[in-house]
Amino acid sequence: MSIPSRVTSHLHSLQLAPATIHYDLRRPRLYEEALDRNEGQLAANGPLVTRTAPYTGRSPKDRFIVRDASVADQINWGDVNQPTDRSTFNHLHERMAEHAEGRDLFVQDLYAGWDESYRLPVRIITEKAWHSLFARNMFVRPDGPVPDSFEPGFTVVDLCEFEADPERDGTNSEAAVFVDMGQNLILIGGTHYGGEIKKSIFSVLNYLLPDEGVLPMHCSANEGEDGGTAVFFGLSGTGKTTLSADASRSLIGDDEHGWSDRGVYNFEGGCYAKMIDITPESEPEIYGTTEEFGTILENVIVDPDTREPDFSDDTITQNTRGSYPLSTLPHTAEDGQGNHPDHILFLTYDAFGVLPPVSELTPAQARYHFLSGYTAKVAGTEAGVSEPRATFSTCFGEPFMVRDPSVYAELLGEKIRRHDVDCWLVNTGMTGGPYGVGHRVELDHTRAMVNAILDGTLADVSSTPDPMFGLSIPERVPGVPDSVLTPRQTWDDPQAYDRRARELAEAFADNFETYAGRVSEAVRTAGPSLETVHG
């Protein structure tokens, strides 16, 4: 197809002089290009299998944001949002442009966001065909041909084969994810991991949207037949994707959403699900996508003869991923939008076996736990981790939150009050003891708790307060043994539980000291304090 002049002129303005521009290619053509270029292999039933090693996940230490006068006071600078200057960015840009000269480039014009009032037009430029397919899967595609009026609000240039030089380029490694809000441009180099493309735009939305009164959220969302919407906050591994993919409800999205005055809307056109140990029994809808043409399987091992994927094989990484369009799933919201939520669920993987599997939160507790963003790392998932370790990721998405956390927390609190939203904390982690002693809360039990929240059953159930964390624990949940609901009762040694509970409560209190001077007294006292822990 002919390349629109608006595209060629834009690439020229970016100093990009490719040999060939492959513009707006559809899936079959991208498959052909990827296979012809040895970028991947076909798995049984049609997915494209790719490799991203040595980077099999995001590289947060390699992300930088240009610090200039327009953003200096708006961004929460630090280890997460590392500053760089415009001259360093421009130097890297020039070096990457030299790398791109004479190479083939793939260009997709897409949108971040289903709500036309707030969506961001994005142009994704890649040197890999499979990255272009990834972009088509993960962003919202125009309805029909790209309109002539399309102008990118932000551009991503992903040249994964380019390797940065820390001494020359001001980076920490050969990988680079550089964001310039002033030039509406993102540069990605040195990493093949597809997630950097979508998460870099998510970070941009986290910067732009609060000024429009929209709360950007690292969450999944679904809706019932009655239009009731539920939002699931959670970090990777807590069940965000699994629990929102419910055959009885329509999926709005599994990872990134905005909450505007019109309701909840998905930022994405696809899902990027963890695939490790997935089975048809445990997650039937997601498993079904692994047998579809158009799905990308990152770092999944396949049999060399049958090409059947082995989802239990973590030879390359535990973080195996599947990228697929929302349209692949059988139950989705066609317009990617939902009403204001009736329920917000904060998902956590508590490896200590201390937190109850389900508890109701007051509005103040919701803000406390939103700011805390607690989950836990367990032995074997990270070098040097031999015991469960509490970790806190503010707003359940600290790596992507560009502004001060209080900006997002205030927006959340305002929307909870305005729309009278019920909030819950759901522990999908351990019960009966810490990791290595107890066992993970059974998925069937967690699903039963979530169903009881969403159908209103728990609204009429009496609750018991947790003495250490102040949480309201329901006394019964249909389909769940009563003994499971109170974690202390699941431990063989109640005194050992008490010790672990104090340790976790102290970790909560220590972490929240960061926010103590920036929140109301009601929020500050909505969780454990050092006084109550040691009192």
The residue annotated as part of the active site, out of 123, 192, 321, 445, is 321
The residue range of the domain holding 82 is: 5-212
The residue annotated as part of the active site, out of 22, 50, 58, 359, is 58
Same domain, 307 and 366: no
Give how many domains the chain has, as a whole number: 3
Q: Does the annotation count 236 as an active-site position?
A: yes
Q: At residue 59, does pLDDT exceed 60?
A: yes
Same domain, 346 and 428: yes
Same domain, 44 and 179: yes
Q: pLDDT > 70: what percent of the chain?
A: 97
Is the distance from CB of 253 to CB of 223 less than 8 angstroms? no
Q: Does the annotation count 367 as an active-site position?
A: no
Same domain, 146 and 176: yes
Q: At residue 390, does pLDDT exceed 70?
A: yes
Q: Please, which pLDDT band fits residue 389 given cuts at 50, 70 and 90?
A: confident
Q: Please, which pLDDT band fits residue 530 given cuts at 50, 70 and 90?
A: low
> What CATH number is associated with residue 308?
2.170.8.10
Q: Output the pLDDT for position 380.
A: 39
The residue annotated as part of the active site, out of 8, 88, 236, 463, is 236
pLDDT in tens, 245-301: 888 999 999 999 999 999 999 999 999 999 999 999 988 999 999 999 999 999 999
The encoded tokens of residue 74 equal 């708006």
Q: Please, which pLDDT band fits residue 534 given cuts at 50, 70 and 90?
A: low
Contacts of 270 (CB under 8 A, 6+ apart): 137, 138, 139, 323, 324, 325, 326
Q: Please, which pLDDT band fits residue 86 given cuts at 50, 70 and 90?
A: very high
Q: At residue 387, does pLDDT exceed 70?
A: no
The residue annotated as part of the active site, out of 22, 119, 218, 257, is 218
Q: Output the pLDDT for position 338.
A: 97
Domain assignment of residue 475, yes or no: yes
Q: What is the CA angle 327-330-334, rounded to 5?
A: 50
Same domain, 64 and 14: yes
> What CATH number is associated with residue 184?
3.40.449.10
Q: How far apart are CA 415 and CA 215, in angstroms?
A: 9
Contacts of 239 (CB under 8 A, 6+ apart): 232, 347, 349, 426, 428, 446
Same domain, 194 and 313: no
Domain assignment of residue 221, yes or no: no
Q: Does the annotation count 61 as an active-site position?
A: no
Domain assignment of residue 233, yes or no: no
The residue annotated as part of the active site, out of 171, 241, 323, 529, is 241
Q: Please, which pLDDT band fits residue 383 given cuts at 50, 70 and 90?
A: very low
Q: Does the annotation count 240 as an active-site position?
A: yes
Same domain, 363 and 304: no
Letter for the amino acid at 392?
Answer: F
Stretch 59-71: mean pLDDT = 95
Label residues 369-384 b or e (16+ Cβ within 10 Å = b): bbbbbbbbbbeeeeee
Q: Does the annotation count 168 as an active-site position?
A: no
Is the distance from CB of 150 to CB of 124 less than 8 angstroms? no
Partners of 232 in beta bridges = 220, 345
The residue annotated as part of the active site, out of 123, 141, 192, 240, is 240
Stretch 38-55: mean pLDDT = 96
Q: Does the annotation count 199 as an active-site position?
A: yes
When the pLDDT of each residue in the chain is averaged and rounded to a whole number, the result is 94
Q: Please, which pLDDT band fits residue 1 given cuts at 50, 70 and 90?
A: low
Q: Output the pLDDT for position 382.
A: 41
The residue annotated as part of the active site, out of 63, 119, 199, 524, is 199
The encoded tokens of residue 19 equal 């040999």
Q: How far apart are CA 365 and CA 469, in angstroms?
A: 10
Q: How far apart are CA 245 and CA 154, in angstroms?
A: 30
Domain assignment of residue 141, yes or no: yes
**Upstream peptide bond of 54 is cis (omega within 30 degrees of 0):** yes
Mutual angle of helices 494-512 and 363-372, in 10-degree steps: 80
The residue annotated as part of the active site, out of 255, 342, 422, 466, is 255
Same domain, 95 and 54: yes
Report field, pTM of the whole predicted structure over 0.75: yes
Stretch 368-384: mean pLDDT = 73
Spatial CA neighbour of 504 closest among 524, 487, 480: 487
> What CATH number is associated with residue 391?
3.90.228.20
Q: How far apart are CA 274 and CA 270, in angstroms?
A: 13
Q: Output the pLDDT for position 491.
A: 97
Contacts of 457 (CB under 8 A, 6+ apart): 451, 477, 478
Is the distance from CB of 268 to CB of 198 less than 8 angstroms? yes
Same domain, 436 and 371: yes
Spatial CA neighbour of 438 closest among 427, 429, 448: 429
Same domain, 190 and 321: no
